[in-house]
Structure 1
Amino acid sequence: MNALRQFVMDKRFNWFITGLIIFNAILIGLETFPNIYEDYHHYFVVIDIIILIIFALEVILKIMVLRKSFFSNPWNIFDLVIVLGSVILYSTPFVSVLRIFRVLRVFRTITVIPTLRRIVAALFMAVPTISSVLLIMLIIFYVYAILGTSFYGDIAPEYFGDIFLSFVTLFQIFTLESWASGIFRPIFAEEPWSWLYFLSFIVIATFIMINLIVGEIVNNAQKITDDIEEDTDEIKEDTNEIKELRKEIREIKEMLQDK
């Protein structure tokens, strides 16, 4: 069992699985080209089955080694659901669902690369704050949508004809996609003071709010990194203490042997 644990927990095994996930992702991408997929359909199917078998064996080995602790890690459960779903649905008529599971295998890259797991964890930790920011953004969108409909509904009805169109227009402005030439300048030609409306919305919604979200995610990522460093320092201290104890035990043994 110790040999099996060393094999499963070895970095080389982890990198092999990572490489296999990346290869599987490339394979799924190549299947979107009809000419390639039709010419090599048999090879695609065989390789996909081999990859799925290896993924299934990996999960089984991890369960054998980790046992109950395997299910305490959400990432392991995520791997188990994807692999189990792929195995169950492989020979069923639910092809569309199977394709979803096959594409979801790409997400297993997150589970095997610690830095990616850290970023995703930081994102989930920021969800409460992001929800509050999104609520503020919704209020800002709503206020500006009403103002846009009131001020520019007659000038540009295709953009601000009603509150729904105003929301769609504001979202386009929010993404900074062709807002100046497509939306702003025609209205600015009719209403010179419209620049206050557009620029204030961009500064508040795009720059300030997005920076709040990004800042929260970065702060959480830094917290996770600090926690990992603290745990690493504790492990190093424990290791040093163990080394010192071993050294003292060796000295005591030598003293006893001399006597």
Structure 2
Amino acid sequence: MTRDNQNILASFVKSNGFTYFITGLIVFNAILIGLETFDSIYTPYEGLFFWIDIIILLIFLIEVVLEIIVYKKRYFMNGWNIFDFIIIVGSIILYSTPFVSVLRIFRVLRIMRTITAVPSLRRVVTALFMAIPTITSVMLIMAIIFYVYAILGTSFYRDISPDFFGNLHLTFITLFQIFTLESWASGIFRPIFAEAPWSWLYFISFIVVTTFIMINLIVGEIVNNAQKISEGIEGETDEIKEDTTEIKEDTSEIKEMRRELAEIKDLIKSQNMK
């Protein structure tokens, strides 16, 4: 392939039109896979769904081939590209095998690529990934708290409410229901409170520590990271503005120098004519 053809192909692959087309196709493919779950829709048009799926898969394959030609080794340095490559190539190789159904479902995950096209979503996802170490630490603390409260709940309320606190396993499930605040008061707390008046200390303290404090720690960390990213972007924007201002000033100086040179040339010409 000549350099001119390579440049034309690179411009086509990197163009907004190509990106929007692939993104729209990803969304359409996701909707199509969702429609296949409705027997009333899928069964009468099974053949049509099959051929549309084949066409979409071929377009995705062409996309991968074009991007590999343009980016070469750099294509496999991007995690999303590797994900696309595995899903698409795997879908083609295993299309007539029982494993293809799993890969076809995974193809709907390609819609996650649209996150990279929206800057605000990209910042949120980046902030979420940055918060993973903190989230892991908070989850570890929550696991310890859950375990302590599970032992206490099983010890205190096993006889009062064996359906919810009969053993450690049931207590863990009950605590998770309380943690989500789903029907915890009427379904779990009040029957126990009727027989154990001091049980409110156990339930209220667990909700305050886990649902309010721990979750707010996670949300606060994500918000803090998002703010750092925004501040970083603003800093880069300010630097670009400063560079642009300097370029404008340099341009003005160059124009002034050109004007002075033009005046000098005119002066020299006028003297030569004399």
TM range (shorter): 0.7 to 0.9
Computed over aligned residues only, the root mean square deviation of the Cα atoms, in angstroms, reads 2.5
The 3 A distance-change label for structure 1 pair 130 and 227 is same
Secondary structure of 1:154 counterpart: coil
Of the candidates 147, 166, 180, which is equivalent to residue 161 of structure 1? 166
Q: Residue 212 of structure 1 corresponds to which residue in structure 2?
A: 217
Q: Deviations over 1:138-191 (max 9, x none)?
A: 111111111111111110011111111111110110111111111111101111
Letter in 2 for 1:144: Y
Q: Residue 201 of structure 2 corresponds to which residue in structure 1?
A: 196
Q: Residue 31 of structure 2 corresponds to which residue in structure 1?
A: 26
Of the candidates 59, 62, 66, which is equivalent to residue 57 of structure 1? 62
The 3 A distance-change label for structure 1 pair 192 and 74 is same
* Per-residue deviation, 1:216: 1.1
Q: In structure 1, how many angstroms separate the alpha carbons of the residues matched to 2:197 and 2:153?
A: 14
The 3 A distance-change label for structure 1 pair 122 and 173 is same
Secondary structure of 1:97 counterpart: helix
Q: Could you list the runs of 5+ residues in structure 1 that have no partner in the other structure?
A: none
Letter in 1 for 2:219: V
Pair 1:234 & 2:239 matched: yes
Q: In structure 1, how many angstroms separate the alpha carbons of the residues matched to 2:61 and 2:7?
A: 21
Identify the range of structure 1 (89-98 vs 37-46) with the bigger mean alpha-carbon deviation: 89-98
Pair 1:176 & 2:181 matched: yes
TM-score by length of 2: 0.83
Of the candidates 95, 104, 109, which is equivalent to residue 99 of structure 1? 104
Contact 1:79 1:108 in 2 (8 A): no
Of the candidates 90, 93, 107, which is equivalent to residue 88 of structure 1? 93
How many residues align structurally?
259
* Per-residue deviation, 1:196: 1.2
Structure 1 moving runs of 4+ over 6 Å: none
* Per-residue deviation, 1:23: 1.3
Identify the range of structure 1 (60-69 vs 237-246) with the bigger mean alpha-carbon deviation: 237-246
Q: Deviations over 1:180-230 (max 9, x none)?
A: 111111101111111111111111111111111111112222222332333
Q: Residue 35 of structure 1 corresponds to which residue in structure 2?
A: 40
TM-score by length of 1: 0.87
Of the candidates 125, 132, 137, which is equivalent to residue 130 of structure 2? 125
Q: In structure 1, how many angstroms separate the alpha carbons of the residues matched to 2:11 and 2:128?
A: 32
The 3 A distance-change label for structure 1 pair 172 and 5 is same
